[in-house]
Structure formats: C-alpha cells, structure tokens
Chain A
Amino acid sequence: MSLLAVNLLDGLVTGLLLFMLCSGLTLIFSMMGVLNFAHASFYMLGAYFAYQISTYVGFWPGLIIAPVAVGIAGALIERYGLRRVHQYGHVPELIFTFGLALLIEEVVQFFWGKSHMAYYEPEVFKFAAFSIAGNAFPAYKVFMIFVAIAIFLVLLYILTRTRVGLIIQAALSYPATVQNLGHNVPLVFMGVFGVGTAMAGLAGVIAGPVLGTFPGMAVVLGSIVFVTIVIGGLGSLWGALIASLLIGWMQTFAASYNVTMADILMAVGIDKPVDLSDNALRDLWTLTLPQIGPILPYLLMVLVLVIRPRGLLGKRET
C-alpha cells in the first residue's frame, strides 16, 4: 500500500512535468497547426540557462530569468524563422523545427560541452518533506508539484477568464476573422509561441536538478512529449493533462513492479523451456515490466492512433 502511495506521488511529479511541456506544445499546435519538434530543446535550454545563472546568483533568480530568456529566444525564432518557413506549408515547418532541435543540441554542446552540469536543487529543499512507510519524499518534488499546478491554474485562468485568452481562443479557430476585427494575429502567434517555450523552459529549470542537465535531456523527453499530446488529442489542454498523468503513472508503476513475462506465461499454463539459451523465444521469457516500461507510451500511442486518430479528447483529425 505504501509503495502504491509513493508511486502515485512520483508518477504525479513526472506527469505534471510532462504537462508543463505538453500544455505549451499543444497550444502552439492548435494555433499554428505545426508540431514544434524543438519544444523539448527549449526545455533543455531552460535547464542550461538556469544552471549558468545559478553559478552567478543562485537558484531563485534563475527560476524567473531563465524561462523569460527562453521565451524571448522562442519568440525571436518564431518571428524570424518559423514565420518565414510558414509560407512553404506544414511539412517544411515541421522539418524546420526538427532542424532547430538538432541545432539547439549542437549549440548547447558548443557552449557547455557533453558532460552533465553540476546543477542542483537549492539547499532549502534538501530535506524530506514526509515519509511513507520509510520512503522519504523529497521536499523539492513537493515544490515541483506546486509549481506545475500553479502554472496550470494561471494558464487556465488566462485562457478562459481574460480578454487576452478570449482573443487567443478566437485566433485558434478563425485567425482571419480575428485579424479582420483589428487584432494583430501574428503578434498573438509570436506571444503564444514565446509563452509556450517559456513554460518549457520553466519545466527545464525545475526538472534539471532532478533529471540531470546534459545534452541528451531533450532527446530523452522529446519523443515522449509528442506521444503525450498525440494520445491526449492534438490541441486539447485537458487531453494533454490526462495523457501526461496517465503516462507519468504508467512509467512509474512499470519501473517499480518487477513483473516478469515468465510469471504471466506460467500463470496461463505455459511451461518454461528447460534450456533457454538456445530458444528463439528466450527474450520473451526473460522480459520484465521495468524493461518494457519505456516503450509502453509508444505502444499506447500507436494503439490510440489506430483506434481513435484524434486522440482521447481531440476534436479534429489532422
């Protein structure tokens, strides 16, 4: 029971972290119709910026400055890169963001090298917030949960309760009409891109100390982020939330319950072959749940796309 509680909390942390990336990505997608392949790269930039700032002035200023810097970089890339490519169509846009992801990884290696950065959580959080049956739960993870929830609430408030949110929502569906009503739609696009990347940057700032700050961190999370928003339904904020939590819990539980394929096969009445070394199916027998944990999201995505191409809560097919 206690293991269940710990996993629920750990999965919540992973899921909310994923959601901070997915919410920005899905907003950008519903606005411009382009999947930003470089989104996880902005998350990586956030972590590196925050590390660099933390070496000068500590963790807390980095929490504010790094996301803002990432957001400005994102807005500039939208203004001078993406908007230019937009005229060629969606496929070149996707290819552009893909190239951007490659380039950002190279740029990060150019400045910071290939090794892990010594970026840690602040001293304030180096204690156990509480413990469940002997398993200590770090205070920093509690902090991560609160930051993610706060961001979600602010985003929800802006989108549904303010005038800016109204214009954004209108621009999502009918950009031309909104433009005709006298709103500067390209500016709205740039703003949304900037805010979306800034949120990815913030996710990087708070995840860097836990998951590690290294050049591969974008690749590790990048594909999972796509999988999540595709499962949740492209363009749906609630879908992104549900899918993020689902994947967060799925990965945490898969990693901690050591169910082997042999157990399952024997439970259904198949005998284990005596000599495994020469058996073509030997990998099937030694398969364990933690091993297949990383591929579960991809399996789920392929299933979702085959059965319900619009995703769990998506409204349209693309």
Chain B
Amino acid sequence: MSAVSDAEAARRGKSGLFSLAKTAPWFIAAVLLICLPLVFNSGAGFTVMNQMAITIIFALAYNMLLGQGGMLSFGHAVYMGLGGFFCVHLMNMVEYDGLMLPLPLLPLFGGLFGLLFAFIIGSFSTRRAGTVFAMISLGVGELIASLSIIVVAFFGGEEGVSGDRTMGPEVAGFDFAQQSEVYYLTAAWLFISALAMFLYSRTPIGRISNAVRDNEERAEFLGYSQRYVRWISFCASGFFAGIAGGLFAINFEILTEENLNLATSGSILLITFLGGVGFFLGPVIGAIVFTLLQTVLSLYTEIWALYVGLLFVLTVMFFPSGLAGVIAIHVRPWQLGKIGLLAAPYLKMIVPAALFVFSCAAVLEILFHARHAALGEEEMWLYGLTINSQGVWPLTIAIAIAVVSLIILKRLAPSLKEAWDEANHQETGS
C-alpha cells in the first residue's frame, strides 16, 4: 500500500517542487490549525488539542522508525521523555539561574537532547533490525525507566520534575500563561515538525530507509550500509520525539517516570499502528482518534482501556494497514467514479453495525457493573436507561440484540462484497 502512495508521490514530484496539488494540503492544515481554537475555545478543548498535537508529533516521529524504517521499537518513550526532562531542567534554569532562553525555542533543545541520546543508543541498537532491535529497544527503555527512579537528582524520583513555563523572557508580549498561547506554540511546532518529517521522507536518505526496510540485503548490494541508514533514521526520529517531549514539558510543566516507561512506549506503538504505518497521515489519524477515544470514552465508562485494547487487537488482525488503510482502499473506487455504488450497502449496514457494537458494549458494561459495583447497588445507567445489572433480562436483551444484528450483518455481507467488486472494477477500454 505504501508502494502505491510512494509511486504516486514520485509521479507527482515531476510536476515541480511547488505544485498546487502538493502544497494545498499543507495550506489547509495550517488554516485548520489556526482556526480550530475559534471553534473549540473552552479550557477542555485546548487541553485535548494540545495533547493531540503533541501525540501527533510523537506518533509521526515513531512512524519514521516503524513505518518508514521498518524498526519496531518498544522503548521510544525514552527519547521523548529525556527531551522533556532536559526541557524542564532548562525551564528551571531560566527561572532560577537567569538563563535567557525564550520559551518558543525550548522544544528545539528537547529535540537536540533526543537526538543526542538516539545517537548514543542507536550506535549499538541499530546494528540489526527486526527482533534484535525490538529487544534492545525494550531493554534500554526498561533500563532508563528504572534508572529514573534511582537517579533522583535528575529525574526527581517518584514525584518527577516540575517547572514553570511563564518565567522566561516575554516573546512579543506573550508570557504563555494562557492555554491558548501554548496551543499556538504547539500548533506552530506541529506544523514545522510535520512538514520537516514529510520532506525528510522525500529526501534520498528517507527513500533509502524505505529500501532498507523492504530488503536490507539488496540495499547493501547497492552500496548502502543498512546499519548507517537505520542509525540516521533512528537519530532523526529521536530528534522529533525530543521536540514532542519539549512541548510536553511546556504544556504539562511536569515530567515523571511515567513518561519513560513501557506503557507510554506501548501506547505510541498502538496509536501509530491504529492509524496505519504505511501512510504518512496514518499516525496523525491514529493520534487524533486515540486522544478522542481516551478523553471521550473515559468520561462514560471505566473500562475504556478494554475497548481500546480490543480495537487494537482487531485492527492488527483484520486491518493491518490501520485506519488510513481503510480510507486508502476507497481511493480507487473514487478515481473510477464509482464510489456512489458503495453508498447504499454502507447505509444498509450502518444501523445493524452500530446496534452490534453498542449491544456488545452493553453486555460488557452490565457484566462489569454486576461484578464490581458496591454491594447492594444494583441499578446502573446505560444509554439513558436505568436498569438492574443483577437482573437476567437486561443481559439477555443485550445479547439478543447483538446476535440478531450480527445475523443481519452476515446476511448483508454478500451484497456489500458484490458492490465492492463492482466499484473496483475498471471497464476495459476506458
């Protein structure tokens, strides 16, 4: 799938560096980033958007490894975390030692620290790809996460290190006390980093890292050292992860052991894979969807992590190219002008599919409530209904709806398949 999009990009590349088709998405993205606060101008809105922007940078940096370089890392939180820790310390130096460092430049230093550590650790971890790389990344990640509890002077032990972003010199009248100011700073860094990462993937070194991913032996025969190619990608990825860490430090003003550990490294893998590793936009979609799921689902249910875990495992099993891949398979019907053929079967399936998902969730919620609610508390609130979780009927009805909607879905599947084949079919001669 990535081969198709890459070939597409190469074909378009001939039409000049600054063609409209290539620059238009970036203009739209810039306008969107500027206008979003006009729509979501509440405090919670800014919190979610800042978190989203930081996650997008981190996920894009992670995908430089996983998607473009074919390196699966279980310890990438280390580079974001270390960049963040250094930035908090820099922030404290600005506050206490009178260091004249304007806040907007701070993420750059986070990136440089991320780069430094990626350079050191990459010097031995990138010798091999595949399982060995994954294991070294896991080992180094666990090592640094455990070290962070021991080395209190730098990592602050269990409490972590905190700082104050407003103590630096004012830049054009902004002291970054407001969340909206932090948002624009984060958005600017997001735009710059995303553009830089996109352009990087179009440079010869970016292309060669794709070649090493696909077939390291052939890349060696062409005269490229697979090890150095991986090392360079690793350093670049560490740099952008460090930028994300710097922005994290600015946004949350605190870093703890949690920013370095396996859970954080794992969730960025989850986000990137959910979005789709074969596409540049995949991690962006993954980060947006994951942050929304996390904030919205956790408002409504205690077991949101179970749903996210289920979604992740199902994605790996059935859609290994992620959400971006699901979108990408619709491009061909669109180009053939037959996307309309899919509308009717999709519309028919949307109701039973929604019923199926919601009834399955209802089964889980009722079971969870029945097992874990306080003794004597039998009433629960579900989809606006008040039901008795200990009773037989609510569970039976939920299971019945799930089964019936599944049967309907199975019945409708052949018609979708037919429409799908038709929509992807190109008439000969056209």
Query: Which of B135, B367, B371, B372 interacts with A301 by CB under 8 Å?
Result: B135
Asked whether any CB of chain A lies closer than 8 Å to the CB of B151, the reply is yes
- Are the C-beta atoms of B128 and A84 separated by less than 8 Å? no
Q: Known contacts A94-B134, A110-B368: does B143 contact A295 (CB below 8 Å)? A: yes
Secondary structure call for the B interface: helix
- Are the C-beta atoms of B72 and A91 separated by less than 8 Å? yes
Question: Which 5 pairs, one residue from A and one from B, show the smallest C-beta to C-beta distance?
Answer: A103-B309, A106-B306, A298-B143, A295-B146, A99-B313
Chain A residue at minimum C-beta to C-beta distance from B372: A113
Complex interface residues of chain B between 147 and 165 (CB less than 8 A to chain A): 147, 150-154
Residue interface bits B122-135, CB-to-A below 8 A is 1, else 0? 00100110111011
- Are the C-beta atoms of A102 and B146 separated by less than 8 Å? no
Asked whether any CB of chain B lies closer than 8 Å to the CB of A164, the reply is no
Residue interface bits A79-90, CB-to-B below 8 A is 1, else 0? 001001100101
Chain A residues with Cβ below 8 Å from B72 are 91, 94-95
Asked whether any CB of chain A lies closer than 8 Å to the CB of B320, the reply is yes
- Are the C-beta atoms of A219 and B262 separated by less than 8 Å? yes
Asked whether any CB of chain A lies closer than 8 Å to the CB of B258, the reply is no
Complex CA gap A227/B124 in Å reads: 17
Asked whether any CB of chain B lies closer than 8 Å to the CB of A51, the reply is no
Residue interface bits B288-299, CB-to-A below 8 A is 1, else 0? 000000000000
Chain A residues with Cβ below 8 Å from B134 are 35, 94
Interface centre among B128, B135, B147, B305 (most CB of A within 10 A): B135
Q: Known contacts A96-B316, A106-B309: does B135 contact A283 (CB below 8 Å)? A: no
- Are the C-beta atoms of A103 and B142 separated by less than 8 Å? no
Q: Known contacts A287-B150, A298-B146, A299-B143: does B313 contact A103 (CB below 8 Å)? A: yes
Q: Known contacts A91-B72, A106-B303: does B316 contact A99 (CB below 8 Å)? A: yes
Asked whether any CB of chain A lies closer than 8 Å to the CB of B317, the reply is yes
Asked whether any CB of chain B lies closer than 8 Å to the CB of A92, the reply is yes
- Are the C-beta atoms of B266 and A98 separated by less than 8 Å? yes
Complex CA gap A269/B92 in Å reads: 35
Chain B residues with Cβ below 8 Å from A90 are 130-131
- Are the C-beta atoms of B132 and A81 separated by less than 8 Å? no
Please, how many residues of chain A have a CB less than 8 angstroms from a CB on the other chain? 46
Chain A residue at minimum C-beta to C-beta distance from B74: A98
- Are the C-beta atoms of A227 and B303 separated by less than 8 Å? no
Residue interface bits A273-303, CB-to-B below 8 A is 1, else 0? 0000000111100010001101100110110
Complex CA gap A180/B143 in Å reads: 45
Please, how many residues of chain B have a CB less than 8 angstroms from a CB on the other chain? 45
Chain A residues with Cβ below 8 Å from B254 are none
Complex interface residues of chain A between 22 and 45 (CB less than 8 A to chain B): 35
Asked whether any CB of chain A lies closer than 8 Å to the CB of B43, the reply is no
Q: Taking the nearest CB of chain B, how far is it from the CB of A219, in angstroms?
A: 7
Complex CA gap A220/B131 in Å reads: 21
Chain A residue at minimum C-beta to C-beta distance from B310: A103
Chain A residue at minimum C-beta to C-beta distance from B72: A91
Query: Which of B139, B266, B270, B305 interacts with A298 by CB under 8 Å?
Result: B139
Chain B residues with Cβ below 8 Å from A190 are none
Asked whether any CB of chain A lies closer than 8 Å to the CB of B140, the reply is yes
Asked whether any CB of chain B lies closer than 8 Å to the CB of A230, the reply is yes
- Are the C-beta atoms of A223 and B317 separated by less than 8 Å? no
- Are the C-beta atoms of A85 and B316 separated by less than 8 Å? yes
Interface centre among B140, B262, B270, B312 (most CB of A within 10 A): B312
Complex CA gap A85/B316 in Å reads: 7
Asked whether any CB of chain B lies closer than 8 Å to the CB of A309, the reply is yes
Q: Taking the nearest CB of chain B, how far is it from the CB of A3, in angstroms?
A: 24
